[in-house]
A and B are shown apart, each in its own frame.
Chain A
Amino acid sequence: MVRRKLMGRLAPYLLVLPGWLWLVIFFVIPVIAMLSLSTQTGDLIDGFTQTFHWQNYLDGWNEYHVEFIRSVIYGAIATILCIVIGYPVAYWIAFRGGHRKSSLLFLLLLPFFVSFVIRVVSWQFMLADNGIILEPLKAIHLLPADFHILATATAVVGGLTYNFVPFMILPIYVALERIHPEVMEAAGDLYATRRAAFRRVVLPLSMPGVFAGVLLTFVPAAADYVNASILGGTDQTMIGNVIETEYFTNTNYPMASALSFILMAALLIGVFIYAKVLGTREVLDMAVA
């Protein structure tokens, strides 16, 4: 009896146990290991020893704050572009897609069945100084001969936007799709023009989707290194590239770990403030007022 009761009480916890194990093995343990690594000193040959050298963090910030700030700016611009491009697309699919909605969503995701790196490389190929786009334009003197896109901030931000825009479109689509058609009709019935109906009803109701989309695009975009390394030049280095170099080229594991932690902490704090300040409920109230 008692055993049965105990099992009954424990059952919910036992059920989530695999999830917790997963989290501990693949997230908590690596994070602790990395945290420990970030304050060690030494090198790959002689080995690293734990010396609680917190100085790594300060050195990391002092040396690479430009890349940090650049990452945040690129990430932010890419996120804004994703909203500007993604919202109308999501709107169009949700309200004008008719019975083709699911095919349209599939088409949207189709390029993403191709490897991330291949996609970025194909952009590199297309945007090359003498590539299939720029060369003809230069040949007819529409562009100066030394014009280039690769190795500019435009190329990197463009790449980020391209790669993360589906993560903006999908949550906005879901939010829009959930709006009952009669709710929009009601707005029209109550003398709202199309503009007013959008501003007062559709937009506020889709904001949760936009918030989710911002999280899903900004975090990976700010931490990305593939776009900057393939489409960018030396002036477009992002913090992801620095971490990669510290880790693989310089084998300075403590520094790489410290930088990763600074990035993680910065993003977490950012997300936390964002959620606190723009909590769904409050934003909705703001939109209505």
Chain B
Amino acid sequence: MITSAPEQANPVGHSAGGPPAGPTPPETATAIELVRITKRFGTGSRAVAAVDDVNLVIREGEFFSLLGPSGCGKTTTLRMIGGFEQPTGGEILLHGKDVVGTPPNKRDVNMVFQSYALFPHMSVFENVAFGLRRKAVAGSEVKRRVGEMLELVQLQGKDRRRPSQLSGGQQQRVALARALINRPRALLLDEPLAALDLKLRQTMQIELKSIQREVGITFVFVTHDQNEALTMSDRLVVMNEGHIEQVGSPREMYERPRTRFVAGFIGTSNLMTRSIASMDGTTAILECGAGERFVVRDAAALGAVPGGKIDVTVRPEKITLGTEPAGGEMCSLRATVTNVVYMGAWTQYAVRLADGAELTVFIQNATNSEDAAERGAEVWLGWDPAHSLAVAPQ
């Protein structure tokens, strides 16, 4: 690959590094806004902040995911939006109105619980009709809307069954129908697919997404599965230990992780901590062996200074393997192949750098499969400097 001068490479690198942030048109209204939301459990010295000073804007009609490891505060955040938990500080604005203190039955949002929480003593029909009945909707109207809703979630003819007579996936759909029938302005879903097996889960991911498009309601979706969040969301937030790491579109989160945590949590990444030899404007030039080159653009914003350290990551599929240094502006490091795993469309290489760091490289098995490096081979890694991603340490 031939690369041009850095000044010209910059825009190219930019487009490869991700599209311009925020494809959302400015007229999109805010559905839910969290302002400095904090939730502490317990009192005194034993108090723990499950959610710590979180600011978040969820837009009207988008599929928004809360992603993070177990215990990071996703459920707590969702439950505060639903009104099942009161924040210890901050404001929750639902369509512009502060709802802190408003009970769940007075909020224009509905929840799909992780356990589904179907009413076991009621038929599917009565489960779905529950919200309408509480709002004293006329019987004929209830019948019509429940029928429509059961059709939407493909449960026609199951209306007289009890929840216990349904499969997990069917129960999940009842829970969805029961919430959606109220036409809430936002639907909150707490790991709704977690209890399903992989196959059904993938089917439901697609179905849930298409239902969301069809009804056009804002979905706030909690998951700890990064694949699920990436494939389903319009935008997502990654949370960690009660605070927000990063908010953005799936592409932004993957192509431009801002923190070490996000880089590690989403996708496979090659996190390294390296020393900075010198700075060239905002670009950091990292210490390397003879003939090697490792530069990170836009590093100054993260406080990079000559002699300092920097956390940097490169996605495995952005790296090429070659017998020669990549040359030009390309980053280029010497490595030894320690393992090769053929995976059909891809081959996964484990390589070790001169300083002992272990990296993963994905090479697509296009046409040149005979080029495959053997285990133990000495190779040159190469990538466009735009793919050297500086991340905040923590």
Q: Which A residues are within 8 Å of any B CB, using their own CB?
A: 180, 182-183, 185-193, 196, 200-201, 204-205, 284, 287-288
Contacts and interface: CB of A to CB of B under 8 A. Distances in A.
A190 B115 contact: no
A186 B182 contact: no
B46 interface: no
| Closest A-B pairs by Cβ, 7 of them | A182-B117, A190-B131, A186-B117, A191-B134, A284-B121, A182-B113, A188-B104
Contact of A185 (B117, B121, B131): B117
A284 B120 CA distance: 10
A185 B113 contact: yes
Contact of A288 (B114, B122, B131, B179): B122
Kindly name the residue among B84, B103, B115, B117 whose own CB sees the greatest number of chain A CB atoms within 10 A.
B117
Interface string B182-199: 100000000000000000
A201 B118 CA distance: 10
Contacts of B119: 183, 186-187, 200-201
A185 B115 contact: no
B121 A204 contact: yes
Given A205-B121, A287-B121, A288-B122, A189 B111 contact: yes
Contact of A190 (B84, B120, B121, B178): B178
A289 B144 CA distance: 18
A2 to B, nearest CB: 42
Given A186-B119, A205-B121, A288-B126, A191 B182 contact: yes
Nearest to A208: B121
A187 B103 CA distance: 12
A78 to B, nearest CB: 28
A288 B105 CA distance: 20
B110 interface: yes
A183 B115 CA distance: 9
Interface residues of B, number: 24
B105 A192 contact: yes
Contacts of A288: 121-122, 126
B82 interface: yes
Contacts of B118: 183, 186
Nearest to A197: B105
Nearest to A183: B117
Contacts of B294: none
Interface string B134-149: 1100000000000000
Contacts of A192: 105, 130, 134
Nearest to B135: A191
A180 B113 CA distance: 11
A100 to B, nearest CB: 17
Contacts of B105: 188-193
Interface in B180-234: 182
B103 A188 contact: yes
Given A191-B105, A191-B134, A191-B182, A186 B113 contact: yes
A287 B121 CA distance: 9
A190 B126 contact: no
A204 B127 CA distance: 14
A205 B120 contact: yes
A180 B117 contact: yes
Contacts of B178: 186, 190
A287 B120 CA distance: 13
A284 B121 CA distance: 6
Given A180-B117, A182-B117, A205-B120, A189 B126 contact: no
Contacts of A189: 82, 84, 104-105, 110-111, 179
